[in-house]
Amino acid sequence: MDQQAIQSIVEEIVSRLTGASTGNRSIPMAVSARHCHLSKSDLEALFGEGYELTKKADLSQPGQFAANESITIVGPRGSIEKVRILGPARSMTQVEVSQTDSVKLGVKPPLRESGDIEGSAPITLVGPIGSLYKKEGLIIAQAHIHMAPDDALSFGVGNGEYVKVEVDGARPVTLGKVLIRVSPRYKLEMHVDTDEANAGFITGKTTGKLVKYEENKLAGNAESFESFVGNPKEMVPPAPKKVSNLKKKKLLTQRDVQDCQEEQIVVDPSTIITPLARDTARELGKSIRIF
Ligand SMILES: [Zn+2]
């Protein structure tokens, strides 16, 4: 056994001991109540020049916090008071409400990924010092799962992919079109809004099970794999990705990744993937799928 293989195994044992790559885990869920993110200039327009948010509580995603401050949001049919502001300040103001809230406000916000507010619904914001009419910025946030790159590898999913999540509780529900969001800054957690939570009796203690859509699954052997990207309605099958089937390997090392000519490497759930192999795959733009 060469030096590199020994190093890889040592790294893998360390990573298992520290809890990484544990495979088929359940996903902790959190319920996002209505809230808003404000730009610095909008914060100042509502609360006064030079105003800084004060922290009430840290949120589960690192760096994010719930502020003590809240605002009132106003639509053509009604208003909602005490809408919590989440910090820190962002480049764009964004208000996230539930479908139930939007009926009360008399607005029709689109279902969107956080940050995608172009052409979204208008909303009026009222603070202690002033008020603002925003032409866009009101959305219903799409259910999503935050995860780190290692989680994405162990679940066999990629950033931007949609999955289903089965929630087993007093009233079991399956949520579809749940967006995967991958960043090294993220901690594994699914976010749903209050309507979704109420429908499925979901609380902060609930967990969900990730289920991949059929077309994303690898059927049988690696050669038959085709990934569908873009609009499935167009029915134009993309060129199949070149896949390297390394399912027989017990250990996937950095060298295996470097040696393989294909952009996608398929391994068995029992295959040990060394951290160096993962890093190298990331650097070379290759994806590792576990089936
Ligand atoms: Zn979120």
Tell me the three-class secondary structure of 107-126, residue by residue: CCCCEECCCCCCCCEEEEEE
Ligand 1 center to residue 192 CA distance, Å? Answer: 8
Establish if 8 belongs to a structural domain: no
Output the pLDDT for position 184. Answer: 94
SS3 label, residue 269: coil
Query: Do 263 and 140 lie in a common domain?
Result: no
Query: Do 189 and 255 lie in a common domain?
Result: no
Which structural domain range is residue 117 located in?
A: 19-217
SS3 label, residue 156: coil
Output the pLDDT for position 201. Answer: 96
Output the pLDDT for position 231. Answer: 40
158-164: long-range contacts, CB 8 A cutoff, minimum separation 24: 158/182, 158/287, 159/183, 161/216, 162/213, 163/210, 163/211, 163/212, 163/213, 163/216, 164/210, 164/211, 164/212, 164/213
173 CB neighbour count, 10 Å cutoff: 18
The residue among 6, 20, 23, 24 whose CA lies nearest residue 251 is 6
Output the pLDDT for position 232. Answer: 42
Query: Do 208 and 270 lie in a common domain?
Result: no
SS3 label, residue 32: strand
Query: Do 154 and 213 lie in a common domain?
Result: yes
Query: Do 209 and 268 lie in a common domain?
Result: no
Output the pLDDT for position 227. Answer: 36
Ligand 1 center to residue 191 CA distance, Å? Answer: 5
Give the pairing of strands 287-290 and 251-252. Answer: unpaired
Output the pLDDT for position 219. Answer: 41
Output the pLDDT for position 286. Answer: 83
pLDDT < 70: residue spans in the chain: 1, 7-24, 215-242, 291
Query: Do 173 and 258 lie in a common domain?
Result: no
Ligand 1 center to residue 144 CA distance, Å? Answer: 6
- Residues with Cβ–ion distance below 5 A, ligand 1: 191
Query: Do 26 and 66 lie in a common domain?
Result: yes
Query: Do 264 and 171 lie in a common domain?
Result: no
Establish if 231 belongs to a structural domain: no
The residue among 248, 225, 145 whose CA lies nearest residue 192 is 145
Q: Domain containing 120 — which CATH number?
A: 2.40.40.20
Establish if 171 belongs to a structural domain: yes
| Count of structural domains, the chain | 2
Ligand 1 center to residue 90 CA distance, Å? Answer: 15
Ligand 1 center to residue 181 CA distance, Å? Answer: 9
- Whole-structure pTM over 0.85, yes or no? no
Query: Do 182 and 51 lie in a common domain?
Result: yes
Output the pLDDT for position 233. Answer: 42
Output the pLDDT for position 3. Answer: 73
Q: For residue 143, what is the DSSP state?
A: P
Last residue of a domain, one of 168, 185, 217: 217
Q: Contact 199/171 with Cβ under 8 angstroms?
A: yes
How many angstroms separate the CA atoms of 53 and 38, rounded? Answer: 10
Query: Do 248 and 169 lie in a common domain?
Result: no
How many angstroms separate the CA atoms of 263 and 241, rounded? Answer: 7
